[in-house]
Every structure is written in structure tokens, then in C-alpha cells.
Amino acid sequence: MPLDPLPAWATARRREIGARIRAARMNANLTQAALAERIGRDHRTIHRWEYATSIPNLEDLLLLADALDVPLADLVR
């Protein structure tokens, strides 16, 4: 059963993961649209992840790490 609202620590972690995705994307000189195309997602999905309105699942995190050429741990640490 999901918690509603999420505890503060979970919301903070969601923002941290989004910020790491954004930093890795920018470091790779990719737009949200270009990254979305690489992993087969919509650019609005990338935006939602980066701004913590949603969070990627494990499969998406693996795709992101591969597309951005970063270790998975760097995105979720």
C-alpha cells in the first residue's frame, strides 16, 4: 500500500535522483528529446524524472545509465 503523502526523505531522494539524471544528461551534451529518443521514451517523461514529478523504474534507470555512459550507481547513489 503506497504512502500518501510520501515521507520527506523519499521526496528528497526523488529530487536527488532527478538532479543526477539531469547532470549526467547535460554532461553528455544531450537534450531531453535526444535522451528520450535514445531510450525509447517521450521527452516529457525525461522532464518528469528530472523535476521529480515521477521516478524511473529499474529498467528505465538501466537504459539511462547505458545511454548516458555512466554507472547505474552514479544515478541513484
Residue 3 predicted with pLDDT over 80: no
Give the domain CATH number at 24.
Answer: 1.10.260.40
User: Can you tell me the distance from the alpha carbon of 8 to that of 39, in angstroms, rounded to the nearest whole number?
Assistant: 30
> How many other C-beta atoms lie within 10 A of the C-beta of residue 30?
17
Going by pLDDT thresholds of 50, 70 and 90, the confidence category of residue 4 is: low
Residue 70 lies in a domain: yes
Residue 1 predicted with pLDDT over 60: no
Domain, as residue range, for 67: 8-76
Residue 3 lies in a domain: no
Tens of pLDDT along 9-68?
999 999 999 999 999 999 999 999 999 999 999 999 999 999 999 999 999 999 999 999
Which residues, 6 or more positions from 19, have their beta carbon under 8 angstroms from its beta carbon?
50
User: Can you tell me the distance from the alpha carbon of 7 to that of 20, in angstroms, rounded to the nearest whole number?
Assistant: 20
Domain count, the chain: 1
Residue 2 lies in a domain: no
Residue 16 lies in a domain: yes
Residue 18 lies in a domain: yes
